[in-house]
Chains A and B, each alone.
Chain A
């Protein structure tokens, strides 16, 4: 029986590379990002990912002005 392996995605905002501008928060079509209340090394509240539901669209990545503040991982369950 063949089964299509469903891909899932994970968004990882790197706290210490985030400047807290909030652009990713507005960009995510699934509303999965928000600015928290903890402060990072730059002294700003940073973006946090809700933990699930990312569809890997890349909107948050491309709208973020920081080089490596956001990484989107594609997860393939092991067969």
Chain B
């Protein structure tokens, strides 16, 4: 007599579940009679039959199937609640040849992850989704799910789901099938052997669509959670077949597989050289004609922060300085930060200037140059000033001389008063720009770089106020004025 296995443990599972804590390594962690196990077997069997395990990623959701990656012998990702679609999108876009299987519960897909899911379906992402509709939040102990039936008693609908207060159960298959992109949408149930065989067919079809790269395939699986629905496994199937399928009819909702061509999308590149080129490309307007500056201070990252009230021109001062760096062929970043109000609130911006690439645009420590135009900004940002940092402040509003540490410099100019005298308080920032120029000239710039300051400032001002000739002219003058006053004071 010869005996061969006709049906046995699917090869798409690990032989033993070593990642599972405890001594039970052959079983999954689901409750007796849980639908997750039945569906897992169908997926594992299909993966092995199709020989795709080495290029398949199974995305475990949050829910009872959170540890599905303990079981499937393929690549695994475990994503935050509802984020399956986002992860799947990244995976298929970056690795178009890989097979991607999304697996989500009704809480995960139809509640917290609903938008992400619908958008991915609508984009026709190249992956397949198995949606376990068990009409309940299983993992957390039986709260109402978007797919809980009307009248269904759950931990959070103890009197039964009421359409007036909780709305109607979401018909996900019906919704998805209305979208243009999805290729295949079917609802199946893990109940009678006949229904399970239909589910098996659907699982295989969805995976095959993904293997052929034909786009988004979706299978909704009515599945039992006998524990939280407080039913014996046999009654569970009856509930699904008699109650759930009335509201969630089984069947194919959409199938355009035959008409669809494989979806081919541009593949992002991860080559180091390409990424660097994309990130640190020569900026438009940044011109190579200007030779770069030789002053030593630009040999390392120069970190600048400017703070004041919104409306004082804090952000545009930063923008002008960033533009100046650009015109001297340096890499620059400008990061504004301000409250919801346009004026009157606090505002600050961070500017980084560097010959080499810039990593993060944030300046919250080791600041080389701190420019403050009011008292609260001084109090707030002085602790961020680095060891040999320079503080420049408007002494028309900040009367006390700030206490800087040894090694740091505090340089004052009454920029507000000067601007007012000049005829426009709004030019205080340009006065400050000139003052910065004078300070740099005196302490940090080579004569060649210092000689270029005014010309560069003018180009940057002209760019920042493009089309407003009067304002450009006024700011250039204010900048010159600030330069002269500061030079005289230093």
Contacts and interface: CB of A to CB of B under 8 A. Distances in A.
Interface residues of A, number: 37
Interface string B7-35: 11110010000000000101110111111
27 contacts: A19-B27, A21-B32, A22-B33, A22-B232, A23-B234, A26-B233, A26-B237, A27-B192, A29-B193, A41-B24, A42-B27, A58-B193, A59-B193, A61-B8, A62-B38, A64-B37, A64-B41, A65-B28, A65-B37, A68-B8, A68-B9, A68-B26, A71-B7, A73-B3, A73-B4, A75-B1, A76-B2
Contact of A27 (B7, B24, B34, B193): B193
Contacts of A72: 5-8
Interface of B: 1-10, 13, 24, 26-28, 30-38, 40-42, 44, 71, 192-193, 196-197, 200, 226, 232-234, 237
Contact of B32 (A20, A59, A76): A20
In the A-B complex, the 9 residue pairs with the smallest Cβ-Cβ separation, listed nearest first, are A65-B37, A21-B33, A68-B9, A59-B193, A21-B32, A61-B7, A19-B32, A72-B7, A71-B8
B197 A62 contact: yes
A11 to B, nearest CB: 9
Nearest to A61: B7
Nearest to B196: A62
Given A63-B193, A65-B36, A67-B41, 13 more contacts: A17-B26, A41-B24, A56-B6, A58-B193, A61-B7, A62-B42, A62-B197, A63-B196, A65-B40, A71-B5, A72-B6, A72-B8, A73-B6
Interface of A: 9-10, 16-17, 19-23, 26-27, 29, 41-42, 44, 56-59, 61-78
A56 B6 CA distance: 8
B346 to A, nearest CB: 59
Given A19-B32, A22-B234, A70 B27 contact: no
B1 A67 contact: no
Given A23-B233, A63-B196, A58 B28 contact: no
A66 to B, nearest CB: 6
Given A10-B3, A17-B27, A67 B233 contact: no
B36 to A, nearest CB: 7
Contacts of B196: 62-63
A57 B194 CA distance: 11
A1 to B, nearest CB: 21
